[in-house]
Amino acid sequence: MTRIELPLYTPTYVPTGAERARMQTSRGLIVVELFGREAPVTVGNFVELATRGFYDKLKFHGKKAGSVVVGGCPVTRGLGPAQVHAAVRGVLHGIHPGTGTARHRIVDEWEHNPRNQHLDGSLVMAHGSDPDSGSSQFYFSLAAQPEFDDQYTVFGQVVEGLEVIHALNIGDVIEAITIEGLAQASGALSRGGVV
């Protein structure tokens, strides 16, 4: 079987470091300071996807208590919460949450990122086993986990709603993500505007 290599993507949007993500979930609001200066490709990619509505109605599809809660997989878009649970358990055949992408991949930015620390509430780009394989999936770190600092790109920190990320479970919905503090001159953002 031939493996499909996704193209390496460089976002058009260039973050200024002033961006914040407001993620409305079925459990409540999460506000995240984005690390646009430290992880510009990862933040630019996330901002572009969020402003296009890519994350709207996706479900969280993974949770390990005290470690991470994972979302951002487009495979979950048309599924209800019970279907996501069933698919994760392997009961819903042919549907595999955690395998979807934005049809591109981005470079890892953990190596030279001075803020790349897995703390309680860190927003982190998930990726496969290959380098530079992140795309759309992300996770919230639910504890300090320094053993992952040299493996995954931390690109934000929760500043409001820490209790919400801890309450999130498999099947919970990302209702919408809006970005505050967008750079005014960017033509790369089709749905969103400057907030």
Q: Hey, CA dihedral for 75, 76, 78, 82, is it positive or negative?
A: positive
pLDDT of the residue at 194? 34
Domain assignment of residue 46, yes or no: yes
Q: In this structure, are residues 153 and 141 in contact, taking their beta carbons and an 8 Å threshold?
A: no
Average pLDDT of the chain is 92
Query: Which residues does 140 contact at the CB level (< 8 Å), separation at least 6?
Result: 30, 68, 69, 121, 122, 123, 124, 158, 165, 168
Residue 32 — very low, low, confident or very high, per pLDDT cuts 50/70/90?
very high
β partners of residue 183: none
Q: What is the pLDDT of residues 81-132, one digit of tens each?
A: 999 989 988 888 888 988 999 999 999 999 999 999 999 999 999 999 899 9
The answer to whether position 195 is within a domain reads no
pLDDT at 161 over 60: yes
Structural domains counted in the chain:
1
pLDDT over 70 percentage in the chain: 93
**Helix (H), strand (E) counts: the chain:** 3, 8
Strand order in the sheet with 28-34: 62-64, 68-71, 138-141, 122-125, 153-160, 28-34, 20-25, 174-180
Tell me, yes or no, whether 5 lies in a domain: no
User: For the domain that residue 82 is a member of, what is the CATH number?
Assistant: 2.40.100.10
Range of the domain at 140: 20-180
Examine residue 185 and state whether it is found in any structural domain, yes or no. Answer: no
Residue 8: inside a domain: no
Residue 95 lies in a domain: yes
pLDDT tens string 49-79: 999 999 999 999 999 999 999 999 999 999 9
Contact present, 36 and 15 (Cβ < 8 Å):
yes
Q: Is 26 within a domain?
A: yes
- Give DSSP secondary structure letters for 39-89: SHHHHHHHHHHHHTTTTTT-B--EEETTTEEEE--GGGTT--HHHHHHHHT
For residue 42, being part of any structural domain is answered with yes
**pLDDT value for 185:** 55
